[in-house]
Amino acid sequence: MTKLLRRIAILLAIAFALPAQAAETVASPDGRIVVTVDTNGENRPFYRVEVDGKPLMTESRLGFLMADQDKLERRLTIVSATRASNDSTWEQPWGERRFVRDHHNEMTVRFVEDSASKRAFGVVFRVFDDGIGFRYLFDDASMGTTVRIADELTEFNFAADGKAWWIPAGEWNRYEYLYENTAVSGVGTALTPLTFRFEGGTHVALHEAALVDFAGMFVKRVRGTHFRATLAPSGSSAARAVRDTPFATPWRTIRISKDAAGLAMSDIDLNLNEPNKLGDTSWFKPHKYVGVWWGMHLGKESWESGPKHGATTANVKKYIDFAAKHGFEGVLVEGWNLGWDGEWFFNGELFSFTEAYPDYDFEELARYAKKKGVPIVGHHETSGDVANYEAQLEAALDLMAARGVKTIKTGYVTDAHNLRFRHADGSESREHQESQITTRHHLRVVTEAAKRKIAINPHEPIKDTGLRRTYPNWVSREGARGMEFNAWGVPPNGPSHVPTLVFTRMLSGPMDYTPGVLSLEGSGQPLQMTQARALAEYVLIYSPIQMAADLPEHYEQHKAAFQFIKDVPADWAQSLVLDAAVGEFVVIARQDRNSADWYLGGGTDETGRATSVKLDFLDRGKTYTAQIYRDGPNAHYQGPTRFDIAIEQRKVKKGDVLDLPMAPGGGFAVRLVAGK
């Protein structure tokens, strides 16, 4: 159609709300992924997706339920489709890779309703070689000044059954579940990222990008292999998302890859976020830290006051000395502030974020930390009492800034939908971890912290949607079962947990997993991994802040393996997933951002594997010293041979093959030191 004819058709369609014109399509730059947008015989808008000419997603509707308007999903006509393309590269201040390419084709489709009010909205699709993002534009006056969304009707309908890895949405323990591995047609209501593998090997992950001032998206299976978005509820309003126009919703993202590795290497969620809004954030430096932490989870120390109190001036000085001696750049101190006595889980309102226990001399410790060059990592556990935290937020952050703190770990330990908020009119409500109001809270903490050059690491957080690009001081978070479950979890994290996390939770962004428990013993239960695997987790699980979680005395007992934890960086120039099967095994290579050295990590489930790694990624002409930490011949994750580790050195060059057999529940960690 010529431009003029298209214009006339658009004008006619607006004037008479004519039936839909021809379907509109947009393809990925390599042409393999094609998105078609159309309206069906009932004038309901939908999209569908083909990959290599075969249907991946069939007719999947678009629309919303409104709290105070008619449902927005029927009597709709496409009135225009505009296209754009982008191919640019941007630099991350820190990350899994330094440079990120944003190469996509875009199509904005506008719809108008055949009704008296002629409501109109747009949907922008961006199609990359490794997936799709789309979001709704509420930018037309016909929608009114405020849009009150009761729920989202976006569908994700898959053409075939396959396998799925998922955790339930909205359940009491938030994200802290072991992953389910079921048929696609066996998923319930899932949190995202939600990962699928279809016959032929196509891997897909559903998630969202740039979740700002909107309710988080859960994905609910409706029937067969058909899913629908449903928004996290609000505790204070029938509408789950309320926004003044104009606004755009978060992006709904569909990563698509021919293998598991491609899912984990996709940057589409980051690309769909806004560039850095904070300006120069070079004050945040990726680092490793230790902390007064594992001792509490083992029950050897306590958060609360008393004879076992962990956060004492003397104990923290011991940790600062240990950190200074071994090159760590932070000491986390939990249980330093008033409020932990009694049942802290139920008493969030008792936490003071400015008053320390008498045996914790914060001022003196700040002086000592400065002298030793090891900042204290702050801790703000809220027990989910956001009202109490927000009332103290500025003073709490000011105190940390005055004490030289550069990173704060926050915590929201409470059941799902039990975060306590206080509103401007004094009323209170209980909210979900993904409610719209919770998105506002987290951004408030992050931006207030940024004013004080402090980075934030929330536990029991809201899900990550790539906002680290826009707010680079939002450096990590928990949001899955971490190391703490190996202390007291029933059951602890099994060998398949990490090879699953890499392709589920980790698709959303960095995780403060707190690896490195080389003593391989929790509170009365052994860790389900070999010691080489414990080291591998520093490469497998990305975070710009990595904890060495074990007790200093345990590291003294495992000095040879500890060397890898001291050496491994927390910031990368490149990251390559070399080989993987979701939930079974994963092998990752990463290049240090501050040297020419490379690191390798491998991990397997309960099955041992004879893994060989071809060193194709090394620089030609250079010789590297491979410092290898691998499972010994008798290693097995169950029993005393989980400590069987072989540590050896070899000279290698590009193209060489390293044989790195993994024991059941095992793995390997390799440092490749670049020579001349």
Enumerate the H helices of 201-337 as residue ranges.
260-265, 268-271, 294-298, 313-326
Residues 6+ apart with CB under 8 A from 637: 495, 528, 529, 530, 533, 606, 663, 664, 665, 666
The site string for Ca ion over 441-460 (x = CB under 5 A, - otherwise) reads: ------------------x-
The CA distance from 563 to 574, in Å, is 23
Nearer to Ca ion, 420 or 459 (CB): 459
Q: Which does 334 bind (CB under 5 to 8 A by kind): ligand NOJ, Ca ion, none?
A: ligand NOJ
The CA distance from 320 to 427, in Å, is 43
Q: Give the bridge partners for 288, in sequence order.
A: 546
Please, what is the minimum distance in Å from the beta carbon of residue 587 to ligand NOJ?
A: 28
How large is the C-alpha radius of gyration of the chain?
26
The site string for ligand NOJ over 442-471 (x = CB under 6 A, - otherwise) reads: -----------------x------------
Q: Exposed, middle or buried by CB within 10 Å (0-12, 13-18, 19+), for 239?
A: buried
Question: 178 and 228 in contact (C-beta within 8 Å)?
Answer: no
Nearer to ligand NOJ, 411 or 664 (CB): 411
Please, what is the minimum distance in Å from the beta carbon of residue 176 to Ca ion?
A: 6
Nearer to ligand NOJ, 160 or 298 (CB): 298
Nearer to ligand NOJ, 478 or 579 (CB): 478
Binding residue for ligand NOJ, selected from 151, 334, 385, 571, defined by CB under 6 A: 334
Residues binding ligand NOJ: number (CB under 6 A): 8
State the DSSP code for 224. T
* Residue from 115, 107, 153 nearest 132 by CA: 107
Q: Which does 503 bind (CB under 5 to 8 A by kind): ligand NOJ, Ca ion, none?
A: none
Nearer to Ca ion, 413 or 674 (CB): 413
The site string for ligand NOJ over 474-493 (x = CB under 6 A, - otherwise) reads: ----x-----x---------
Please, what is the minimum distance in Å from the beta carbon of residue 391 to Ca ion?
A: 24
The CA distance from 150 to 64, in Å, is 7
Under rule CB under 6 A, residue 413 binds ligand NOJ? yes
Which residue's C-beta sits nearest to Ca ion?
A: 459
Q: Which does 592 bind (CB under 5 to 8 A by kind): Ca ion, ligand NOJ, none?
A: none
Please, what is the minimum distance in Å from the beta carbon of residue 397 to ligand NOJ?
A: 18
Please, what is the minimum distance in Å from the beta carbon of residue 152 to ligand NOJ?
A: 30
484 included as an active-site residue = yes
Catalytic residue selected from 155, 329, 460, 484? 484
Nearer to ligand NOJ, 459 or 671 (CB): 459
Tell me which H or E stretch contains 610. Answer: none
Residues of span 140-159 touching ligand NOJ by CB under 6 A: none
Binding residue for ligand NOJ, selected from 162, 330, 384, 411, defined by CB under 6 A: 411
Nearer to ligand NOJ, 59 or 304 (CB): 304
- The token pair that represents 458 in the structure block: 């929330």
State the DSSP code for 466. S
Q: Is the link from the previous residue into 510 a cis peptide, with omega within 30 of 0?
A: no
Nearer to ligand NOJ, 333 or 578 (CB): 333
Residues of span 289-318 touching ligand NOJ by CB under 6 A: 293
Count the Cβ atoms, other than its own, within 10 Å of residue 40.
12
SS3 for 71-123, per residue? CECCCEEEEEEEEEEEEEEEECCCCCCCEEEEEEEEEEEEEEECCCCCCEEEE
Please, what is the minimum distance in Å from the beta carbon of residue 176 to ligand NOJ?
A: 8
The site string for Ca ion over 103-132 (x = CB under 5 A, - otherwise) reads: ------------------------------
The CA distance from 286 to 96, in Å, is 11
The CA distance from 196 to 184, in Å, is 7
Q: Which does 411 bind (CB under 5 to 8 A by kind): Ca ion, ligand NOJ, none?
A: ligand NOJ
The CA distance from 378 to 400, in Å, is 7
Enzyme catalytic residues = 484
**Contact set with Ca ion (CB under 5 A):** 459
**Contact set with ligand NOJ (CB under 6 A):** 293, 334, 381, 411, 413, 459, 478, 484
